[in-house]
Amino acid sequence: MSIYRNAVWFVKGLQEYTKSGYEAAAKHFSPADLEVNLSDRCFMVTGANSGIGKATAQEIAKRGGTVHMVCRNKERAETAKGEIVAQSKNENVHVHIVDMSSARQVWEFAQSFSQNNKLHVLINNAGCMVNQRELTEEGLEKNFATNTLGTYILTTALIPALKKVEDPRVVGSVPIRQTQWAAFLNDGCCVCPQITVSSGGMLTQKLNVDDLQFEKGTFDGTMAYAQNKRQQVILTERWASQHKEIHFSSMHPGWADTPAVQSSMPSFHAKMQSKLRTEAMGADTVVWLAVSPATVKLPSGQFFQDRKPVATHLPLASSRSSPQEEEKLLAALEEFAQKFKP
């Protein structure tokens, strides 16, 4: 099964996630979908100082939307804000400094924001992949704390505010990382072109609710990241069933040429640069889900790629979780969230 998964994933990646995959899909896009005036809409984008998050914020600002950038590094955030304002001619861009790995910080920010601001669309874009097991100051494994718990707390804390506005939406960016492609390109082995060699990435990952903080066995940062992405997709589906007033969606941006790829995978970047999507290409579906009237005509809770809903599991991958396992995940996250609630 491992060979099968890797082979299917390899072919799928080359066909769909590269620049040529985007260009083929874009032939069927409706330009009118993004011809919108967002001057009366407020958007929050986490991880908005670079890469796909910044490109998303830029496109929203260009259309007149008020943008709230949630970032960890103040200097980089302010630099990105200046560039977005200069290019969009939109002054309604605001920076909020929040460490998404700190549950208490996320809670405090969300509560304060809700009291002082209106919000129409939350875009959960921030994420990390730490390759060594590290604990936050709150004693949580850092990948889990940032990618899953931080997203869970921010979203659940902002749901009441979202329910007060017209056409509220939550969009989650679920990148399918290409970390192990460097190994493939270097030695020709059949490795999974997403983030793990042995068991594939999010689309072939089965939820492991019994080890959310990766305390058992040898730690694998790429496996942790894949688990976090699976958890985010499940959360999107569950939230959609629980909160009918809000349109939830998650998406895969394809393989984009971002600063994270350039710095963390230089060999991969050098060999694949001509095939990688631009940041704007990677952000296209995020923007479409966040702003287009066409989005809300589709069912809530789906996973998108290039403006189309796609499956969250590969065929025969045995990656589906049971309702009981998903309930256990939600219960565990709620327990963690309440533990750190101010």
Q: How far apart (Å, rounded) are the C-alpha atoms in residues 145 and 258? A: 23
Instruction: Reduce the DSSP state of residue 200 to 3 states and report it.
Output: coil
Asked whether 111 and 161 are in contact (CB, 8 A), the reply is no
**Assign residue 217 a region: left if phi > 0, alpha if psi is -120 to 50, beta otherwise?**
left
Q: How far apart (Å, rounded) are the C-alpha atoms in residues 218 and 317? A: 23
How many Cβ atoms sit within 10 Å of the Cβ of residue 331?
Answer: 11
Determine whether 17 is an active site residue.
no
Residue type, 198: S
* Torsions phi, psi for 150 (to 5 deg): -60, -45
How many Cβ atoms sit within 10 Å of the Cβ of residue 114?
Answer: 17
Q: How far apart (Å, rounded) are the C-alpha atoms in residues 335 and 234? A: 17
The Cα-based distances of 259 to 253, 256, 266 in angstroms read 15, 9, 10
Which pairing describes strands 308-310 and 302-305: parallel, antiparallel, or unpaired?
Answer: antiparallel
The Cα-based distances of 67 to 42, 48, 84, 110 in angstroms read 6, 10, 10, 15
Asked whether 51 and 260 are in contact (CB, 8 A), the reply is yes
Q: Quickly list DSSP for 217-242.
A: SS--HHHHHHHHHHHHHHHHHHHHHH
Which of these is catalytic: 17, 22, 152, 225? Answer: 225
Q: How far apart (Å, rounded) are the C-alpha atoms in residues 166 and 161? A: 11
Positions marked active-site: 225
